[in-house]
Amino acid sequence: MKKFGIVFMALLMVTSTIKAEVEFAYEAGAEVVSAYLWRGQYNGGLSLQPNLSVGFEGEKTSLSVGAWGNIGASDWKFVSKLPKTDDYNPNTYFVPELDIYVMFNIYGLVLGATHYYYCDGGDFLNWGKIQSDGTMAGGSQTEVTVGIDLRTICEVPLSVTWNTMVAGNDLKEENGEIKRAYSTYIEAKYDQPLPLDMTLSFAIGISPWKSEIYNIGSWNEALNAMDIKNFAVNNISLRLDKEWEVGPCTINLFGQGMLNTCGLTKETVFSWAAGDDKINMQKLNGAIGLGLWF
């Protein structure tokens, strides 16, 4: 009984310490961006990207649950009513997206999950089996994340994350058979603080195995097929942020450049016209953005 009392008191002390160190946290705001860039890809033109998260923060731990959205056009030319085929769509079209996520950081260990929903009329939770024709209804996907954030444990502004799709529309063809691809993206990111409340961020991302999400090399028009690589360095990026504190809110202005080396040639640096369904084939991209956060 005495041992039980000692254990109980120890648990009570730990719980009290956690409560003292942890406080409620939230973030709400949005960015207006000239281009929707993601992991080495151009995913769309002028867009509004709101974000809302709630959770808690402590000295060495944090938890956030939130929703991120993209509301924008496929490109910046805003053309419409042009003739299209199965392989080519020259029109600008609406590309909404909603991502639901949860992220947990405990002493630098990052664990999380994100569900990507593309508002395409398919099921929100597209976790069904692969259909007989090798397709899956809707385009939603679910990803798990594991990583390490050195800022939490030793104040080094470096983080490394491993992100793998585990459910939804993420397929590959192998030996004539359609299988789940488990598309994976690994990224290392370093944030260098600069004077005047500026931050310069450098990131490099790779995809270690074949994936139609990340490893798109080039489009072979003669064969009407994509060149899918087994390995790719698909994101080398620099981003400069400048922040201003205005009352209860933060204004953020940024510029970003991004290079995807997978299938990089002089033809693919700037390769596709506005509105094309294969716009993510372009390998060199940039964007500017303005955000307001509370």
Expressed in angstroms, the distance from the first to the final Cα of the chain is 51
Tell me the chain's radius of gyration from C-alpha atoms.
Answer: 22
Q: What is the DSSP letter of 277?
A: T
pLDDT of amino acid 14: 44
pLDDT above 70 (res 277): no
Q: What is the pLDDT of residues 234-269, one digit of tens each?
A: 999 999 999 999 999 999 999 999 999 998 888 788
pLDDT of amino acid 10: 47
Distance CA 241, CA 107 (A): 26
pLDDT of amino acid 203: 98
Instruction: Give 15's pLDDT tier (boundaries 50, 70, 90).
Output: very low
Q: What is the DSSP letter of 183?
A: -
Secondary structure string (H, E, C) spanning 29-80:
EEEEECCEEECCEEEECCEEEEEEEEEEECCCEEEEEEEEEEEEECCCCCCC
Contact by Cβ (8 Å): 34, 288: yes
pLDDT of amino acid 290: 98
What structural domains and CATH numbers belong to the chain? 26-293 (2.40.160.40)
Q: What is the pLDDT of residues 65-101, one digit of tens each?
A: 999 999 998 888 888 888 888 767 888 888 899 999 9
